[in-house]
Structure 1
């Protein structure tokens, strides 16, 4: 992966980074919704800012996005795919550095496998090494993660890895859901509870000290992009 990045030229620049643009870049898909929501925000999307402010967490009362990296890849030891994060944000929060890994969701789950299924009955040395790394980094026990979605582990690990790279004291794994029903919140909640936190929708919880980093978790409900015809009509009505 290259270490050089260029500014976007609008939301279409995000689509060029997708592994499957034909299926991922359309209204109602998480990549499309996330790109429009964040690209069009001056700093934080209003839905995210409201949740941050209402959290009463001092760190999140004054958050400035310094840089954002769509489709950000984080390499992890052992066998398994690179963690392909929807959006990585480096932010200044209350005069401290904060790394944020944003996972966009509409109706899709957190990957198609829980840890037990991903590992299998006879795991390879590579998978054993990968899981051991994630468990040590997150300070979790293997027996507690068997029914946890594997994606949640490596997305959270990505936030911590990037925080440690730049000596940031704070990291946030943020789920930005565009689903009215809040699908898959229960999977997210089961994972967060492993850290002795009580998650809820439209809230940030934490911190919990993990590997020298103050780790937070958040779930924010966003609003889908309006169809072009409706958007134009509303502009005429204003």
Structure 2
């Protein structure tokens, strides 16, 4: 993967980084909706900034990378973040892995993901659980939430950031899949998880970890 990045002139540029642009770059779908929301803000979208401010006063976006891949042990497929953000608040760096949603689920559960078992999957799951400070996870937990959160921590370590945030930016008008997020947040020790809230779940692998669910501006669904 190249380490050279070129600034995006408009949201349409984001499409080229998708695994399946024709399938995923569609009006009302998360990839396109998220791209227009963040590109037009040229910063944190206002609703994201409002939620982050609950924990990080005057958070400043330093860098945002669409479809940013983070390598994981066990197999060749990386964790592909919809957006990865490096931010700063009160002199401390923050690594933020953003997962965009409209109606799309969080992918397979751990049980479904392991339906075709392999040594690589066993190695990867063990790594993710260790990084997240878990001894085990219920089979019903969504695998994507594990590796997306791990991405935030891994990049925090790489950039020497004190904090990592796994942030779901959902444009669903009925908060679809919020329950799956809440189950994961509870597993991580957050207790009750709610919309437009950021929760802290302690130190994981030397990084202070936080989880957030942000309700996006529905006007971007028609972009």
TM-score band, normalised by shorter chain: over 0.9
Select which of 131, 137, 147 maps to 1:154: 147
Where does residue 186 of structure 1 map in the other structure? 179
Where does residue 103 of structure 2 map in the other structure? 107
Where does residue 40 of structure 2 map in the other structure? 40
- 1:80 deviates by 5.8
Deviations 1:122-166 (A, max 9, x none): 721111101110010001122x33110000000000000000011
* Superposition RMSD in Å: 1.4
Select which of 155, 158, 167 maps to 1:165: 158
Ranked by relative contact order (alpha carbons within 8 Å, sequence separation 6 or more), the top structure is 2
List alignment gaps of at least 5 residues for structure 1: 229-238
Distance 1:223 1:66 in 2: 22
- 1:43 deviates by 2.0
| Contact 1:52–1:204 (Cα < 8 Å) also in 2 | yes
Distance 2:217 2:163 in 1: 27
Structure 1 length as normaliser, TM-score? 0.89
Structure 2 length as normaliser, TM-score? 0.95
Where does residue 129 of structure 1 map in the other structure? 123
Where does residue 87 of structure 1 map in the other structure? 83
Q: 3-state SS of the aligned residue for 1:132?
A: helix
Seen in structure 2, the aligned counterparts of structure 1 residues 180 and 124 have a Cα distance that, compared at 3 Å, is same
Distance 1:37 1:158 in 2: 22
| Contact 2:28–2:222 (Cα < 8 Å) also in 1 | no
TM superposition outliers: structure 1 runs of 4+ over 6 Å: none
